Amino acid sequence: MADTDTEFGLRDLLGLRDPAAGLFLLILQATIVLYMVRNFGDSPVISAVAALVLLAAAGVVVLVIPVDPLPMPATVFVAASGPLATALTSFNVDHGWSKQVWTAFASSYVLAVLVLRGRLGAAWLGVGGVAIVIATVGAVNGLRGGVIAGSIVPISTVAGVSLFAVIMRPTQRSLRLLREESTMRAAAEATMAAENGERDRQLARLDKVARPILERIADGAELTATEREQCRLLEAELRDGLRAPQLVTDELSSAARGARSRGVEVVLLDDGGFAGVPRWVRQQVIEAATKELDAANAGSVTVRVLPMGRRILATVLANAPDQDRRTEIDAAGSIKVST
């Protein structure tokens, strides 16, 4: 059974994602080794080594894999490691007491960590497996003290950690909600900062290009034909900034202004395809559009950045009395010109 509060698990609460996790892993491995070395005098060496390696590997898996709850294949391996290690060290038991109960001690710690990884049900299945192995060995060999102690050890350890997990669940939910609120607040502040930055940029640009002519109009001065033409070009340039803000650069704006002054109809459109593309690809589009605008003396030039997800990033369509030319720039920066 997976922990329902996986957005902020017990690993986060106990600090097992930061560098302290390395120390926790070292302590767990040392504990496993200290318990398992006691089996070397009572079990075949190969079996004792295999059980030690199995539990040590399970201890690494249960802590190192970063996904919470622990993925199912890893969960199955960790939950099965306890019963398998117990079975491997259940040879040559002594009557009256089983020294192989030390494997149950080591297994209980690995299964307890499995609870912390959001796999409470799997941990208890592992406990049941250890108890079944110990009970079977005890029944076959007529042991009683070892059976009782060996069964209680994993149960008590995992039960204590499970109780802790249940008690801490409300705290997990509270911390998760606080983190979500903090994330939403940070996103809202970032959005507001971006909007303020864009507004300031637009106001600075408006102040730079429009203030002189606006001051002339405010003073009641009679505008000359040249100034009226300047107003027309300025209006079109400001409209470009609203319809295609990602296309507005000094280079492209200058080319668009020049083309309009020669009687060319210029339309700039931005449907958001620049999001996520490298800056040099965007520059390819700017350069292609600038080239067409500088070359146009009549007709129209339409520069459009397509929506995200399209194979073609942007198009530049130049309609002239003698011929039409279409330039396509894809997301990789390749340019294709067709007439």
> How far apart (Å, rounded) are the C-alpha atoms in residues 335 and 199?
33
pLDDT of residue 268: 92
pLDDT of residue 5: 43
241 phi and psi angles, rounded to 5 deg = -65, -25
Q: Is the pTM of this model over 0.85?
A: no
pLDDT of residue 17: 59
Determine contact, residues 107/129, Cβ cutoff 8 Å.
no
* SS3 annotation, the chain: CECCCHHHCHHHHCCCCCCHHHHHHHHHHHHHHHHHHHHHHCCCHHHHHHHHHHHHHHHHHHHHCCCCCCCHHHHHHHHHHHHHHHHHCCCCCECCECCCHHHHHHHHHHHHHHHHCCEHHHHHHHHHHHHHHHHHHHHHHCCCHHHHHHHHHHHHHHHHHHHHHHHHHHHHHHHHHHHHHHHHHHHHHHHHHHHHHHHHHHHHHHHHHHHHHHHHHHCCCCCCHHHHHHHHHHHHHHHHHHHCHHHCCHHHHHHHHHHHHCCCEEEEEECCCCCCCCHHHHHHHHHHHHHHHHHCCCCEEEEEECCCCCCEEEEEEEECCCCEEEEEEECCCCEEEEC
Question: In a structure prediction context, what are the per-residue pLDDT tens digits for the chain, which is 339 residues long?
Answer: 344 444 445 555 555 656 667 788 888 899 999 988 888 877 788 888 999 999 999 999 988 887 778 889 999 999 999 999 988 887 655 544 455 678 888 999 999 988 888 888 999 999 988 888 877 877 776 655 555 555 667 788 888 888 887 777 776 677 677 777 888 888 888 888 887 886 787 677 667 767 777 777 777 777 777 777 778 887 888 788 778 888 888 889 889 989 998 989 999 999 888 887 888 999 999 999 999 999 999 999 999 999 988 889 999 999 988 889 999 999 888 899 888
pLDDT of residue 92: 59
pLDDT of residue 328: 93
pLDDT of residue 20: 67
| Locus of tokens 């939910």 | 173
Residues ≥6 apart with Cβ < 8 Å to 118: 2, 3, 6, 9, 10, 68, 69, 70
The answer, yes or no, to whether the previous bond of 245 is cis (omega within 30 of 0) is: no
pLDDT of residue 2: 41
